[in-house]
Amino acid sequence: MGLDYSYLLYFKREALWDVLQGITSISRPCPLPTLVAYPDHFRLIHLEAWGRNERIIYHDDPQFRFAASIYFPPDDDIITYLKHFSREKFNLLAAESPLGLPVGSIYITVYNDPAVFDNRVLDPDQVLFEFGTPGSTMSILFSESVSIRKRFEDLLVQYEGVCGVLNLEDYAHVIWLNGHLLDVRIPNPFMPPSEIINFMKEHEISEGEE
């Protein structure tokens, strides 16, 4: 089996839709928006839904799934990755948007009901966004690209994220916690923020430590 790295970003529940709009603003435009159904109205999300519901999702679904090509400011790792797949099209990709180079598809899963995630009970006042990759090559890019990490850090900063984790399957790095940039290794990528805080206390690691 290939590598399956991802970024796990935790936000306060009230930020859910703002974060989705923020992701939309740094992604390639989606020609057909996804409809989010409420009892008395619809909300448009300009991201491509995938999975069981391809065009309509419900605001209280336990989880939402989207696929997006996200723009990242170029760095050497992204340039090498894109040229490997399409050297001929690279110049077109580079000129496509002032937001950077498009990398995708990135699979986004929003865990709207904390109880459905890995049999762990998360804080009901939080939602989890998982940004996954389609295979080993992009997984390696996720782990090595400074620009990709910075883009996810920026989302955490902009929307007052609770916690950010780079999931490397066998272990993980906490990159953000309660308003602080970090680089702390933890043994389980799927520790919820409360467990991460306890782990850091047990190992005498400060939340302000990089």
CA pair distance 56, 12, nearest whole angstrom: 24
Give bridge partners of residue 43 from the DSSP assignment: 36
The rounded distance, in Å, linking the Cα atoms of 72 and 103 is: 7
The residue with tokens 């804080």 is 123
- For residue 90, give both structure tokens: 């690279």
Q: Each residue of 90-114: b (16+ CB within 10 Å) or e?
A: eeebeeeeeebbbbbbbbbbbbbeb
Cross-strand partners of 134 = none
Exposure of 10 by Cβ count < 10 A (0-12 exposed, 13-18 middle, 19+ buried)? buried
- State how far the alpha carbon of 119 is from the alpha carbons of 58, 75, 124, 148, 167, in Å: 22, 37, 14, 28, 17
Cis bond before residue 105 (omega within 30° of 0): yes
* pLDDT tens digits, 66-122: 999 999 999 999 999 999 887 888 999 999 999 999 998 899 999 988 666 655 667
Task: Tell me how far apart the alpha carbons of residues 122 and 196 are, in angstroms, rounded to a whole number.
Answer: 12
Q: What is the mean pLDDT of the chain?
A: 91
Task: Give the pLDDT confidence score for residue 153 in this predicted structure.
Answer: 98
In this predicted model, what pLDDT tens digit does every residue of 157-203 receive, in sequence order?
999 999 999 999 999 999 999 999 999 999 999 999 999 999 999 98
What is the reported pTM? 0.93
Say what percent of the chain tops pLDDT 90.
74
Strands in 172-177's sheet, in edge-to-edge order, are 48-49, 63-72, 101-111, 126-132, 6-12, 163-167, 172-177, 180-186
- Distance set, CA 64 to CA 13, 154, 158 (Å): 14, 22, 22
pLDDT at 151 over 60: yes
Of the candidates 136, 191, 119, 142, which has an alpha carbon nearest to the alpha carbon of residue 162?
191
Helix 136-144, helix 76-86: angle, nearest 10: 160
Read off the pLDDT band of 3 (50, 70, 90): very high
